[in-house]
């Protein structure tokens, strides 16, 4: 049953001339004075969501984005600050780009944030998708196999540091502790200081392909399926359950997953599509060239694979695929009920606030969703302003 509602704000500034025929993404470049506007927007969204009873605000880590689409380079630092500006809202990392970090420094930073915020920071990891940031920070990405190999070792080391009182590690990329003498004796193990107080640490990762699912489920990592067509969504949800069972964890279908979807509420589907379309198209002007379109054609082939469509999808494509919900609140509730019925273990839904959408529109949609949709999924006895699950 879906009881927890969140939103994803990746950190875009208010962009002008948005839409398919608007300013090309590669021609955008903003001064620092504009780029820092996203931090104020994050605070305003967090405070509003806290007031309205949302569960979590998710943000995304990226680097060097002078184009203004994703401008938060440090989610743990950002979210620790946002926790001081709110009362109960969780702040999610979607996701810390693990290859851009030393895993033990990331583990230390998260542990401090966990302690300072009383466990309100939700940890997440990703491999990265932009060569400009990952390779400029010293890790591979053009070589996908090398990137995956590094990521897997980093994740192993990270989890040891979180969960073991003392640990050692020897792999291809890391040797911990270093082979040195310490106070007159060989160093054989170390302890993360401090460790998170809230353990085991809940770790989230995006599901972007079937190949990532088995690794995630095997490690007990929770999965986020965002802006994904119904066919791939169903495939990955069922695969996650099956792979978790192989690792000895019996999960209800949809359990340990979050369903992320674009939502625009209006009086009719046509009105919602008309209003959402420029922001949707601006998003895919940036993301489609990276291959991030998780739709399928009539033969089940994912967009961008041989023989399947490629390029920038339309919002009507997204609505037809079930990745975007546009229309009246009643139709949105009905669609959520359908997904909830299909995946009885699913308890989390995340609204995607698309790149290009102005802060005023984001806040308007968050208010409408909290007022018109969330009460239909309230726990017994919960008030409309206290819908958290």
306 within 8 A of 382, measured Cβ to Cβ: no
DSSP-assigned states of every residue in 28-42 = ----HHHHTHHHHHH
Predicted pLDDT at 208: 87
Q: Work out the pLDDT band at 381, boundaries 50, 70, 90.
A: very low
247 in a structural domain: yes
Mean pLDDT of the chain: 95
The answer to which of 192-196, 232-236, 289-293, 361-365 has the lowest mean pLDDT is 289-293
Predicted pLDDT at 211: 84
Report the percent of the chain where pLDDT is more than 90. 94
pLDDT, tens digit, 9 for 90 and up, residues 228-261: 999 999 999 999 999 999 999 999 999 999 999 9
19 in a structural domain: yes
**pLDDT surpasses 60 at 384:** no
**pLDDT surpasses 90 at 383:** no
22 in a structural domain: yes
316 in a structural domain: yes
Domain of 310, in residue numbers: 4-94+207-386
196 in a structural domain: no
CATH of the domain at 234: 3.20.20.30
The answer to which of 43-47, 93-97, 269-273, 381-385 has the lowest mean pLDDT is 381-385
**Which residue's entry shows tokens 């995607």?**
352
212 in a structural domain: yes
Q: Work out the pLDDT band at 382, boundaries 50, 70, 90.
A: very low
**pLDDT surpasses 60 at 31:** yes
61 in a structural domain: yes
The answer to which of 21-25, 306-310, 370-374 has the lowest mean pLDDT is 306-310
Residue 357: enclosing H or E segment and its boundaries?
A: none
Whole-angstrom Cα distance, residue 372 to residue 367?
8
pLDDT, tens digit, 9 for 90 and up, residues 320-355: 999 999 999 999 999 999 999 999 999 999 999 999
Q: Work out the pLDDT band at 62, boundaries 50, 70, 90.
A: very high
Residue 313: which residues within 8 A CB-CB, separation 6 or more?
A: 284, 288, 293, 295, 303
Q: In the chain, how many domains are there?
A: 1
Both tokens of 242, joined, read 């099956």
Half-sphere exposure of 329 (CA within 13 A, CB side): 13
3-state SS, residue 377: helix
**pLDDT surpasses 70 at 389:** no
DSSP-H helix ranges across 118-248: 131-134, 144-163, 210-219, 230-246
230 in a structural domain: yes
């Amino acid at each position: 049953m879906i009881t927890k509602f969140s939103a994803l704000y990746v950190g875009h500034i208010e962009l002008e001339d948005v839409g398919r025929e608007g300013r090309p993404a590669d021609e955008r470049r903003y001064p620092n004075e504009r780029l820092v506007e996203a931090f104020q927007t994050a605070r305003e969204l967090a405070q509003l969501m806290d007031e309205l009873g949302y569960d979590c605000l998710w943000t995304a880590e990226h680097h060097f984005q002078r184009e203004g689409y994703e401008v938060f380079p440090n989610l743990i630092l950002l979210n620790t600050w946002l926790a001081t500006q709110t009362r109960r809202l969780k702040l999610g990392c979607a996701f810390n780009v693990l290859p851009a970090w030393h895993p033990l420094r990331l583990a230390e930073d998260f542990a401090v944030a966990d302690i300072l915020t009383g466990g309100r920071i939700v940890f997440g990891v990703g491999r990265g998708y932009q060569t400009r940031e990952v390779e400029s920070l010293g890790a591979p990405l053009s070589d996908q196999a090398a990137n995956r190999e590094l990521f897997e070792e980093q994740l192993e080391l990270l989890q040891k540091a979180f969960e073991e009182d003392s640990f050692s590690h020897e792999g291809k990329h890391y040797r911990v502790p270093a082979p040195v003498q310490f106070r007159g004796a060989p160093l054989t193990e170390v302890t993360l200081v401090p460790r998170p107080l809230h353990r085991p640490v809940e770790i989230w990762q995006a599901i972007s392909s079937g190949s990532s699912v088995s690794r995630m489920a095997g490690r007990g990592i929770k999965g986020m399926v965002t802006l994904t067509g119904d066919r791939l969504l169903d495939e990955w949800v069922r695969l996650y359950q099956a792979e978790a069972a192989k690792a000895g964890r019996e999960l209800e279908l949809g359990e340990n997953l979050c369903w992320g979807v674009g939502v625009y509420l209006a009086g009719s589907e046509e009105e919602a599509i008309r209003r959402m379309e420029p922001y949707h198209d601006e998003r895919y002007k940036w993301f489609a060239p990276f291959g991030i379109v998780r739709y399928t054609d009539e033969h089940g082939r994912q967009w961008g694979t041989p023989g399947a469509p490629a390029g920038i999808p339309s919002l009507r494509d997204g609505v037809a695929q079930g990745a975007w919900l546009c229309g009246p609140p009643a139709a949105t509730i009905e669609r959520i009920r359908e997904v909830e019925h299909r995946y009885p273990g699913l308890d989390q839904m995340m609204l995607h606030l698309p790149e290009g959408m102005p802060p005023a529109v984001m806040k308007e949609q968050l208010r409408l969703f909290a007022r018109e949709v969330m009460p239909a999924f309230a726990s017994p006895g919960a008030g409309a302003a206290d819908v958290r699950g």
